[in-house]
Amino acid sequence: MAPTFHRSFVCLFFLHGVSMAASTPHVLIYSATEPETPILSPSMPRKDRTLFTDGNLSQYDALVFLSNTGEVLDDTGKDALQNYLNLGGNFVGIHSATDCLNTTELYGKEIGAYFDYHPEIQNATINVVDASHPSTSMLPAQWQIRDEMYNFKSDPRNVGAVVLLSADESSYTDDGERKYDQGSPHPTAWYQEQGAGVQDGGTPGRSFYTSLGHLNETWHDETFMAHIMGGIQWALDANTTRAFNSSASVGNGDASAAETTSSSAPEASQS
């Protein structure tokens, strides 16, 4: 189940970005899901994936894949995603974003690892491995949370990711079968200073991923939202996009957008 999203999330992001960038960073939040076996019918519109073109993606300073599952991009969209990353675009994945595009190598590298399985949702303890990161600096050393404790098909450290949060496996019950080595401590959130999905010769932006965020009520929790917002702001601070670097190849370079977005933000927050 994907979280219910409100425009206030986008508004909050822009308000953070206005004071820190020459122009307002633009972020595309992509939350499409697809069944394991695609069912083509008029009742299942696929318009969102048409946003993944070189021209459209070039406007954004970061892409946020939010709770996606399944084959959410066609070949044209995957090519556009690759081009965007090669040009310095930043990437953020949230929750089940590790459970989509499961056979697309560039995506697997950029997000860090693919989802394997999770035990039933329950209370658990998350240990902060690195408290110096903007996504974790506000968290208690042992963070009590009710969520899905993801297991992964590989260790994100294998592509250069740095683990930020770790699930305390003694704090919850997991009777599932572990078939893969995800490394230790148990990865729950991580970052890549240079996203591994970039091809040779490209300009790597940053990549951030957190597996948390299953329950709707979690998205009303200030601590969780600070974790998410810290990760997004950190990704943008890569200085590889136009909002922060006028010589960059992608992102919003319109300085006037900051004033426009700031003045319209209260209205945009209405859901």
Per-residue pLDDT averaged across 119-127, rounded? 98
Task: Please report which confidence band the pLDDT of residue 99 belongs to, taking 50, 70 and 90 as the band edges.
Answer: very high
pTM: 0.86
| Mean of per-residue pLDDT scores for the chain | 86
Per-residue pLDDT averaged across 217-224, rounded? 96
How many Cα atoms sit within 13 Å of 158 on the Cβ side? 15
Per-residue pLDDT averaged across 138-147, rounded? 98
Specify the amino acid at residue 238.
A
Environment class of 53 (CB within 10 Å of its CB; exposed 0-12, middle 13-18, buried 19+): middle
Specify the amino acid at residue 112.
G
Task: Please report which confidence band the pLDDT of residue 46 belongs to, taking 50, 70 and 90 as the band edges.
Answer: low
CATH code of 7-268, in short, is 3.40.50.880
List, in sequence order, every residue forming a beta bridge with 28; answer none if it has no partner. Answer: 63
CB 107 within 8 A of CB 79: no
DSSP state, 159? G
Q: For residues 198 and 195, what is the distance between their CA atoms, to the nearest angstrom?
A: 6
CB 257 within 8 A of CB 61: no
Using the predicted structure, report yes or no on whether residue 80 has a pLDDT greater than 80: yes
Task: Please report which confidence band the pLDDT of residue 266 belongs to, taking 50, 70 and 90 as the band edges.
Answer: very low
Least confident of 46-60, 78-92, 103-117, 247-261: 247-261
Report which of 117, 159, 178, 166 is spatially closest to residue 139, judged by C-alpha positions: 166
